[in-house]
């Protein structure tokens, strides 16, 4: 009987009830903080003009930058804008079919027996380059390429069998 009385007091006591409400409210607020990091209206308009078909859009802040992650035409994007709305850096994760022909031909020529597993397009103030993940029966290869097709091996790793 004493145990039931304790449970009733613990569950129904007004101070404990208020603490529970404050805890739940703070958890909800913390979960919504990334949504509060939305950029200003001018950047939002620029973004929607540049990427009208973007889906699953999520804005966050990274230091002095606004970062947007989204999907468009089956490619995943992550773009860093400065506070003035200038694109500073972007990553696009795509497939082999979205590579420029010069890059695709150069990689296929130099790495004939390897399969392209994934592509990351990197854009910054210096221009555009590509990082490709290749594989064969024994190893994984990370290859970089300029947009003009200059290909170089960055690293390789033996597969665990």
3-state secondary structure the chain: CHHHHHHHHHHHCHHHHHHHHHHHHHHHHHHCHHHHCCCCHHHHHHHHHHCCCCEEEEEEEECCEEEEEEEECCEEEEEEECCCCCEEEEEEEECHHHCCHHHHHHHHHHCCCCEEEEEEEEEECCEEEEEEEEECCCEEEEEEEECCCCEEEEEEEECCC
* pLDDT for res 26: 47
Q: pLDDT per residue over 108-155, tens digit each?
A: 999 999 999 999 999 999 999 999 999 998 999 999 999 999 999 999
Q: Is the per-residue pLDDT at 100 higher than 50?
A: yes
CA gap 79, 99 in Å, rounded: 19
Residue 29: the pLDDT is 47
pTM of full prediction above 0.85: no
Q: Which residues pair with 123 in a beta bridge?
A: 90, 128
Compute the distance between CA of residue 66 and CA of residue 84 in angstroms, rounded to an integer: 10
Q: What is the pLDDT of residues 42-60, one digit of tens each?
A: 899 999 999 999 999 999 9
């Amino acid at each position: 009987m004493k145990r039931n009385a304790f449970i009733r007091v613990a569950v129904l006591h007004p101070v404990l009830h208020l603490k529970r409400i404050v805890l739940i409210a703070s958890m909800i607020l913390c979960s919504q903080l990334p949504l509060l990091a939305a950029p200003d209206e001018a950047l939002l308009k620029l973004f929607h003009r540049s990427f009208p078909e973007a889906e699953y859009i999520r804005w966050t802040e990274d230091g002095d930058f606004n970062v947007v992650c989204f999907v468009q035409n089956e490619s995943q994007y992550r773009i860093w804008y400065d506070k003035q709305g200038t694109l500073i850096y972007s990553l696009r994760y795509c497939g082999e079919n979205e590579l420029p022909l010069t890059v695709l031909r150069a990689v296929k020529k130099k790495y004939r027996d390897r399969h392209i597993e994934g592509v990351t397009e990197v854009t910054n103030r210096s221009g555009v380059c590509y990082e490709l993940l290749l594989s064969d029966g024994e190893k994984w290869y990370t290859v970089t390429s300029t947009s003009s097709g200059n290909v170089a091996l960055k690293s390789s790793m033996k597969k665990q069998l």
